[in-house]
Amino acid sequence: MKPQILLLALTLVCTSAWADENVSKVNGRISADAGKTYGALETVNGSIEIGAGAQTKNVETVNGGIRIGDNARTGGVETVNGSIGLVGTELGKGIETVNGDITVGVGSHVRGGIEVSKPSFGFSFQPSRKPRVVIGPGAVVDGPSHFEREVNLYVHRSAKIGAVSGATARSFDSDVAPKD
């Protein structure tokens, strides 16, 4: 009987360790299946999609968007050139981007803040597009939101946010933020 208990214990430990495995790619999309548990998710050139109810550690991409489904839980979220979209999501940390749009959608809770950094590379004769940052109905951002560059910031009247620096928030009452 004791060998069976030992085998069961080892199976449970190994399964848990494999479930928290990190996923890292240079080129390609990462999909985290709904309801499953993962470690950190990182890609250079590709998007990251996290299914409903999935759990992950930090999520990072350089050139790609990040979409996180209902009731998903993750650490921090970071992208340089890609949009970030949350719906009913729990983030244990904050959100960071340089050029991407951010939507903290209905019922999402960001336990950190939001950081939009100034681009530190390249030269262009055309003015850069302002990132669009939307804090939706019932959303909460606990930490400060710091903007090192111009953004269009929209905050729903029912949302709760921390201190804002570097941008002026425009409030809205409808289900979706106004167009820029």
Q: With contact defined as beta carbons under 8 Å apart, do 35 and 17 qualify?
A: no
Report the pLDDT averaged over residues 91-110.
Answer: 97
CA distance 145 to 164: 5
> What is the model's pLDDT at position 20?
77
Q: pTM of the entire structure? A: 0.86
The pair of structure tokens assigned to 48 is: 């990251």
Q: What is the dihedral of CA 92, 143, 103, 89, to 10 degrees?
A: 30
The pair of structure tokens assigned to 152 is: 């269009």
> Which amino acid does the sequence have at 163?
A
With 0-12 / 13-18 / 19 or more C-beta atoms within 10 angstroms meaning exposed / middle / buried, residue 48 is buried
Render pLDDT for 160-172 as a digit per residue (tens, 0 to 9): 999 999 999 999 9
